[in-house]
Amino acid sequence: MLEKSMKIQLKNGLEARPVAVLVQVASQHESTVYIESAGKKVNAKSIMGMMSLGLDTGAEVNVVADGKDEEEAIASIEKFLSGQE
């Protein structure tokens, strides 16, 4: 299991479209992926769960991945949240 703290650097935060893309990025990986923020922990492969977090630009989140490709999962989510994808 890997865990990494990240800052959301997307211009408009995690609105509906970026959430959908984040769910797609997480779903490409076999590992389980969770996003933690403000005491909530949601499955990053769940659109409804991710929308419930209501994350804005600059928000700090903790990403937890567990599985065969956990390193790749963390890296691809970090790349997306930093606005590089």
Instruction: Summarize pLDDT for 6-34 with one digit per residue, the tens.
Output: 999 998 888 999 999 999 999 999 999 99
Provide the domain limits for residue 50: 2-80
Q: How many domains does the chain have?
A: 1
Q: Is residue 44 part of a domain?
A: yes
Cross-strand bridge partners of residue 43: 34
Maximum distance among all alpha carbons in the chain?
Answer: 32
User: With a threshold of 0.75, does the pTM exceed it?
Assistant: yes
Q: Is residue 85 part of a domain?
A: no
Q: Is residue 31 part of a domain?
A: yes
pLDDT at 37 over 80: yes
Chain segment 60-74, per-residue pLDDT in tens:
999 999 999 999 999
Q: Is residue 47 part of a domain?
A: yes
Mean pLDDT calculated for residue range 34-60: 95
pLDDT at 85 over 90: no
Burial 28-62 (b: 16+ CB within 10 A, else e): ebebbbbbbbeeeebebbbeebbbebebeeebebe
Query: Token pair 């650097």 is at which residue?
Result: 9
The CATH number linked to 38 is 3.30.1340.10
Query: Token pair 């804005």 is at which residue?
Result: 56
